[in-house]
Amino acid sequence: MSELLSGGKALLAAVAAGAALIGAGAVALANRFTVESPVGAGRAGIEQVVHDYVLAHPEIIPEAMDLMRDRDTGRIIAGSRDAILKPYGSAWAGNPNGDVTLVEYFDYNCGFCRSSLPTITRLIASDPKIRVIFRELPILSEESRTAARLSLVAAEQGKFKPFHEAVYAGGPISAQSLARALKLAGLDPVASTAAAANPRIEAEIQSNLMIAQKLGMSGTPSWVIGDHVVSSALPLEDLQAAVAKVRAKRR
């Protein structure tokens, strides 16, 4: 029994997490461990060890749940890598060769997204190795969708940043505020509106909505940072800590 505790803590933690998350699945894991265990401990003994270890170290449950969730998220990200990590036109900021990429899914009618803009600016200023990608997630209103289409047109023409900032500075979304934002970004409103009807624009929005659903995003802003997804406005310190965590994992 002491050999199990000293030599198999990682495996025990995994079994414990399985017990917390999938209940009866822990029995299957225990059966497998019984067969593979060099000490030949029985299932009842393994289950008792798991029980005792969880009671002594309850902190492993949320840690293991986070790990399993990040692994699932990582698989989804890996399967949709370009759709998440390849920017649409000029809809990115920071270091194009950054060692960590942070992806923000946003809605122009989201006040928390608007308040996150200066936070992102400060993050980029404080970290020369960060790359930030902006992805449209218009979920709040039809005006949000209109703004998203025009934003993608601006991104295609290398004008994402000035349009993005002008829309947020212009207050509530309206036809008038979007026209002003286009002009401030150096774009023709009539031509941009026509370009926004291109099927590839709608395809990009649909792709973002589908991926957001797969990743379990519950609102805007949502962030993809490494294999972790957060649906919440985050202060600068939390973003920096999340980036540091990704870097630490790669060492």
Question: At 145, which helix (H) or strand (E)?
Answer: helix 142-156
Please, are residues 124 and 94 in contact by the beta-carbon 8 Å criterion?
Answer: yes
Q: Note down pLDDT in tens along the chain; length 251 residues.
A: 333 333 344 444 444 444 444 443 444 444 444 444 555 557 777 777 777 777 776 776 666 666 666 677 778 888 888 999 999 999 999 999 999 999 999 999 999 999 999 999 999 999 999 999 999 999 999 999 999 999 999 999 999 999 999 999 998 999 999 999 999 999 999 999 999 999 999 999 999 999 999 999 999 999 999 888 999 999 999 999 999 999 998 87
Question: Is 81-250 CATH 3.40.30.10?
Answer: yes
DSSP 105: E
pTM of the shown model:
0.74
Q: What is the dihedral of CA 140, 143, 148, 151, to 10 degrees?
A: -140
pLDDT in tens, 16-38: 444 444 443 444 444 444 444 55
Helices 160-169 and 175-184 cross at an angle (nearest 10°) of 140
